[in-house]
Amino acid sequence: MANKSPQVQSISDAFRVNPDGFDLAKVDPDATPVGPRSKTEAAADMVKIGAELDALQEALYAEGTGGGQRRVLLVLQGMDTSGKGGTIRHVAGLVNPQGLRIASFKKPTRAELRHDFLWRIRRQVPHPGYIGVFDRSHYEDVLVARVDNLVPSTEWRRRYRQINAFEAELAGQGVTVVKCFLHISPERQRERLIARLEDPLKRWKYNPGDLEVRSKFSRYQLAYQDALVKCSTPDAPWFVVPSDRKWYRNWVVASVLLETLRDLTPRYPEPTYDPQVELARLREADPLR
């Protein structure tokens, strides 16, 4: 990656945005700078990642039942066909669905537009113990809102600070925010749009407006560049995930999520009762024996 630190200490470090001098145009969407060299290698790695993620997620959930406030919010952003849905299937699909809360943010409804842009987002913040996944997010309000001039520039310019304040507030509540930009090339997008149109089982994923959005590809890249630089904070870092190869994209997001949960080291709560007393009740005083 153009922006990697000289000494990579973790997989996440290789993809974390360092706002100083970051240039999205220099990041290759087809790069595979660390990790598996092939789809086969990645698949084997995903099995191990899945087992560890699953165990950590259960501990996080258990911690939440004991009064812990911590939780994780994975934000996914990217152009059409970059693979937000595929990432949810293959990465979020690695853990127990009971501990997941997935929220998709589409074009705001009229009811949603009557509120501040963060209103609908706040309602979907995961509860303690959960891993929340946002399929698109409040970042749309500095992306499509900017590219399509849905609000005056004074308005969207103000939102970067509002987003940073909101994410800092989340951090204060125990929410670890991890944001992944699924970075795809216009060439790969073209291939995937054609594939959607050619396969009758994929046509529902396409709509003619996708080509309008595609025609603004470079303006979106500039909007992403600003969002990535202005909203990469220690509380809520952005990761740029090379997404031209689906297997690599899934491996990177899974690895970043795994390292996030490892850093949290969720803890099973201490029982608030005496297990030996309860065992004795069941073994010696069980009315149903």
Q: Which residues bind a second copy (CB under 8 A)?
A: 62, 65-66, 85, 88-89, 92-93, 96-98, 100, 102, 104, 135, 186, 190, 193-194, 197-198, 200-201, 203-208, 211, 214-215, 217, 268-269, 271-273, 275, 278-279, 281-283, 286-289
* Cβ at position 97, least distance to a second copy in Å: 5
What is the C-alpha to C-alpha distance for residues 191 and 202, in angstroms, rounded to an integer? 13
For 216, which DSSP code?
A: T
The tokens describing 203, both together, are: 């046509």
**Cα(102)–Cα(112) distance, integer angstroms:** 18
Nearer to a second copy, 104 or 162 (CB): 104
CB of 164 to a second copy, least distance (A): 28
Q: How far is the CB of 266 from a second copy (least distance, A)?
A: 11
Of residues 18 and 104, the one with the C-beta less far from a second copy = 104
- Which residue number, 167 or 244, has a Cβ lying nearer to a second copy? 244
Collapsing DSSP to helix, strand or coil, 78 comes out as strand
Q: Which is nearer to a second copy, 9 or 276 (CB)?
A: 276
Rounded distance between C-alpha atoms, residue 251 and residue 241, angstroms: 10
Are 92 and 250 spatial neighbours (Cβ–Cβ below 8 Å)?
no
The CA–CA distances, whole Å, from 50 to 40, 117, 120, 133 equal 15, 34, 31, 16
For a second copy, the closer CB: 104 or 233: 104
Minimum gap (Å) between residue 61 Cβ and a second copy? 9
CB of 222 to a second copy, least distance (A): 15
Count CB neighbours of 274 within 10 A: 9
